[in-house]
Structure 1
Amino acid sequence: MNNLILLVTCFVAGMLLRRSGRMSEQAPATLNSFIIHISLPALTLLYIHDLKLSGDVAFIAAMAWIHFGLAAGFFWVVGKWLKLPRPTVGALMLTGGLGNTSFLGLPMIEAYYGKEAIVTGLIADQLGSFLVLSILGITVAGLYSSGAPGARTILRRIAIFPPFVALIVAVLLIPVVYPEWFTLLLKRLGDTLAPLALLSVGFQLRLGHLAGNGRNLALGLLFKLLLAPLAIFLLYVPLLGAGGQHIQVTLFEAAMPPMITAAIVATEHDLDPELATLMVAVGLVLSFFTLAGWWWVMRAV
């Protein structure tokens, strides 16, 4: 409960700071840069170091790939049916197919499942969402805009992304025992992720673009928050017979609202920036309710 109060407080504080004009409009970019370069790598180095690989890792990592595949197929069909512009379809694929498994996902996992479950979230994010964004997401963004990125560009983006570098280092350091001071340092730096991420998202919330985007926004969030998690739940639990806390947390990650970075990629490629931003902002607010519902549903898994 304390973690949820922290998340809500930081989200509201971000909204109030924007309205008050006490923070620069460039502040979210600075906050997000700190999170990507410091907070998330610190958490990765801390929790992946203690990772015990098992058969569940494949299920955890596969979730994001399955999720994006479902989104690509769903929004391709919807786009044809409703005759949506290509940039809109691309924006929906990106924001409807990729969840906020790190900035929001990790704090929410800690709030609902405890710190020990964060490692599952990191696997879902690093081996799932991040790689999907870097490979499939960037490719879709290029295909639905002008000019597709080359293989060299994609590989370079993966290779220099700080959390990915931290993932490789953390795996290499698994046999090494961290000194106590280093563990404490990583923990303190990692603890900044939740408040800074929610402050940044709250600051960027804009509802003025709702007019004219209602139908597409509703379709995108219906898929992201309800249909996709339901499909993955049915695949993992009744069909594959998976269970346990790792699977609960993986399904919980599948229900996360749209990824902030996916919306940034959509905006950079001019894929309906207004819709992409609304998907993140409105999805985040609604997810406080839908995630509670999914947590309740998945307790028996």
Structure 2
Amino acid sequence: MLLALYGVFAFIGLGYLAKTLRMVGNKQSGILLGFLLNFALPAQIFTGIYHVELDFKLILIMLTTLGCSLVGGASMYFFSKKILKRERNTAIAMAFLATLGNTLFLGVPLVYGALGQEYSNKAILYDQICTAIPLAILTPMIMSIGGKGVFGLRAITMRLSQNPLFLALIIGLIFKFMPFSISEWIFTPIKQLGACATPVALFAIGVQISMGDIKTEWKNTFVVLFWGMIFVPAIIFAFIHLNGILITDDWRMALLESAMPPLISSAAVIMRAGLNNKIAVSSIAFGIFASAMTIPMWLRLSYL
């Protein structure tokens, strides 16, 4: 885990340094993100989904964790709106940020460092079921709240059908259930392409980090990160123990993924919807650094 954290922050730091020294600008960052979203990440997802061992218990674990995350997000909205008396746009942004975590860019490498390759493949599946699909459903809803679109089945379907990551998931599942297997040599260039995903993603995160908004939104940021990285995984942890469930590595993977900091894509959705984008940028930036303490803590607790 420590080596995984070291690698994560090394690439993020390199991206932030490149931005600070103006070695990389918006144009280069856009090219990196295009390569990442359209080629490297789909290759990683396709390879991971094809090689993952699927079973009913694993899917049930993921759906249980997703349910806890959605409950946590809904309770975040009511807490911020009724108790903290935040205005509606801020409360919606806080709830959205607390619901979905950075389960792919950060989650996959950290799960790999903690549990190994088999569970990093499962973490890819977790990301698609518990983050990508909910994001496709919640995005039109958030946009409609901000008056920027219409929420409906058509909007959700269009978003999923145009998402290269979701399409890679579907293609991977199709080939997985074919009556024949794909020779491993065919995966050689696909694996090489997918291997670029993590360093490029972390570098891109570093390029996008902005420290300025942390000063003005630190109170709301603290609440969002506590809710998403402590409260939600605590619900899952309590569910496991109250039901007398043995914590296997499948549960451990799901617990770690549920404790990830806010999803980077959430900031883009919040910005486009005209909500409080400062809290989004602040939560994502500070959450990455907070994960260096919270993720090892949950990993340690899972073995108790």
TM over 0.5: yes
Say whether the 8 Å CA contact 1:90–1:266 is kept in structure 2. no
**Structure 1 pair 109–221 and aligned structure 2 pair: CA distance change class (3 A):** same
Once the two structures are superposed, residues 112-152 of structure 1 have per-residue CA deviations (whole angstroms, 9 ceiling, x without a partner) of 11111112212211111111111134313432555543321
Structure 2 CA distance for aligned equivalents of residues 90 and 27 of structure 1: 32
1:171 deviation in Å?
0.9
Q: Which of 90, 113, 116 matches 2:115?
A: 113
CA distance in 1, matches of 2:295, 2:3: 17
Task: Give, in angstroms, the shift of residue 100 of structure 1.
Answer: 0.4
Q: Aligned equivalents of 1:148 and 1:81: distance in 2? A: 30
| Matches of 1:70 and 1:274, distance apart in 2 | 21
Q: Gaps spanning 5+ residues in structure 1: where?
A: none
Matched, 1:95 2:130: no
The offset of 1:76, in angstroms, is 2.3
Distance 1:158 1:10, change over 3 A: same
Separation of aligned partners in 2, 1:23 and 1:257: 25
- Indicate the residue corresponding to 1:217 in structure 2: 221
Structure 2 unmatched runs, 5+? none
Aligned to 2:125: 123
CA distance in 2, matches of 1:134, 1:240: 34
TM superposition shift of 1:296: 0.9
Change (3 A) 1:226 1:145: farther
Distance 1:242 1:74, change over 3 A: farther
SS at match of 1:209: helix
Q: 1:255 to 1:170 in 2, by over 3 A?
A: same
Amino acid at match of 1:82: L
- 1:244 equivalent in alignment to 2:273: no
Deviation string for 1:147-206 (max 9, x for gaps)? 543321111101221111111111110133223332111211111121111111111111
Aligned to 2:19: 18
Partner of 1:276: 280
Percent identity of paired positions between Structure 1 and Structure 2? 25
TM-score, normalised to structure 2's length? 0.92
Distance 1:85 1:148 in 2: 22
Which region of structure 1 is more displaced relative to structure 2, 246-255 or 18-27?
A: 18-27
Deviation at 1:222, TM superposition (A): 0.9
Instruction: For 1:13, give the aligned amino acid.
Output: L
Specify the alignment match of 1:193 in structure 2. 197
Bigger shift: 45-54 or 127-136? 45-54
The question of whether the paired residues in 1 share the 8 Å contact of 2:101 and 2:262 is answered with yes
- 1:26 and 1:90 mapped to 2: Cα distance? 31
1:32 lines up with 2:36 in the alignment:
no
Conserved 8 A contact 2:140-2:155: no
* 1:27 Cα offset (Å): 3.4
- Alignment partners' CA distance in 1, 2:31 and 2:272: 17
Matched, 1:182 2:179: no
Between the aligned partners of 1:116 and 1:53, the Cα distance in structure 2 is 11
- Alignment-derived partner of residue 260 in structure 1: 264
- TM-score normalised according to structure 1 size: 0.93
Checking the alignment, whether the CA contact within 8 Å between 1:86 and 1:144 is kept in structure 2 is no
Deviation for aligned residue 1:42: 1.1
Post-superposition CA distance 1:6-46 (Å, at most 9, x none)? 22211111111111011112433332332221222112211
Deviates more, 1:238-247 or 1:218-227: 238-247
2:61 partner letter: F
Report the aligned-residue RMSD: 1.8
Distance 2:173 2:262 in 1: 28
Q: 1:160 to 1:242 in 2, by over 3 A?
A: farther
How many aligned residue pairs are there? 300
Partners of 2:302 and 2:147 lie apart in 1 by: 38
The one-letter code matched in structure 1 to 2:52 is: L
Q: Give 2:102's aligned amino acid.
A: N
Does the CA contact (< 8 Å) of 1:94 and 1:263 recur in 2?
Answer: no
How far, CA to CA, are the matches of 1:204 and 1:257 in structure 2? Answer: 15
CA distance in 1 between counterparts of 2:109 and 2:156 reads 29
State the SS of the aligned residue for 2:215: coil
2:141 matched residue in structure 1: 139
SS of residue matched to 1:296: helix
* Structure 2 counterpart of 1:72: 74
Matched letter for residue 204 of structure 1: Q
Looking at structure 2, the residues matched to 212 and 241 of structure 1 have their Cα atoms a distance apart, in angstroms, of 42
Deviation at 1:60, TM superposition (A): 1.6
